[in-house]
Amino acid sequence: MSRPRLPPAPPILLVVTAIVSVQIGAAVARSTFDRAGPAAMVLLRLVFGSVALSVFGRARLAGRTRRELALVAAFAATFACMNLSFYSAIDRLPLGIAVTLEFVGPLAVAVAGSRRPLDLAWVVLAGAGVALLASGGAGHVRPLGVALALVAGGFWAVYILLSARVGRVYEGASGLALAMALAAVLVAPAGIAAGRSALYQPHVLAVGAAIGVLSSAVPWTLELEALRRMPTHVFGVLMSLEPALAALAGLALLGQHLRAAAVAAIVLVIVASAGASATSRGPAPHEP
């Protein structure tokens, strides 16, 4: 099935819209944690996300080699762990802080293997921001939430590396849709146990469907179109705005006010990520 054509729009606007869509999806998911826990909302996101992405192409398993099947299975496990750890983190931390901590993953990918002093400077700058958040200088933060956000960042790094390989084997969004469906199977036991009867409530199901579209189908479509029309390093720099937009989404939709020290830490990580992305030749940091 051919990919729907988007009306002409500046690629910068496409990237920013994709980021906003993901963060609105995360904020909407967070607002439902009192009815259904993080694991349940992850399950719904994966189910509805895989359905939405299947519109852009269905993956064919027939004729696939064991290595190709193992690749998509690893991608699915990574996706499941990344979302579980991130949603568990935003259950304990403000959205802006959680996304900032998670961003250590893409930053690590951008500077991995580099010996340039400038890249070391980006790492030190980001480390200062993370340390400020983790130490409580930005206000009271729960250590488990910090740990979960950093774990999510580690899985995001693996996701970036695997997504490049999956994209070479599976056409369009078919590999991602397949991985999300398999990830939903992996998350199902925890999601069902956490959600129980809430998973049958129309409101929760509607939110799950919205999250699947906002956090998967919309950003994937917009990012793909943007990457066709701008250099990868520019895309990476724009993606570095994500912590700031996450903080704004947390403020607007969840009423999460951040202290000045938290804002300073977010700025440090954004500058470090933008600088590293501007000089990196690695894969672009797609939304997880």
pLDDT digits (tens, 9 = 90+) for 250-259: 999 999 999 8
| CA–CA dist 96, 94 (Å, integer) | 6
Tens of pLDDT along 93-111? Answer: 999 999 999 999 988 888 8
List the chain residues with pLDDT less than 50. 1, 6
Give the domain ranges of the chain: 11-279
Task: Mark 205-217 as b/e (b = at least 16 C-beta within 10 Å).
Answer: bebbbbbbbbbbb
Residue 15's pLDDT is 92
- Residue 172 has which token pair? 């369009």
Give alpha helix (H) positions in the chain.
11-30, 38-53, 66-90, 95-102, 104-111, 117-134, 143-169, 174-195, 202-212, 218-229, 232-239, 242-254, 260-279
Number of other residues whose CB lies within 10 A of the CB of residue 165: 16
For 60-80, give the DSSP string: --TT--HHHHHHHHHHHHHHH
Cα separation of the two ends of the chain: 24
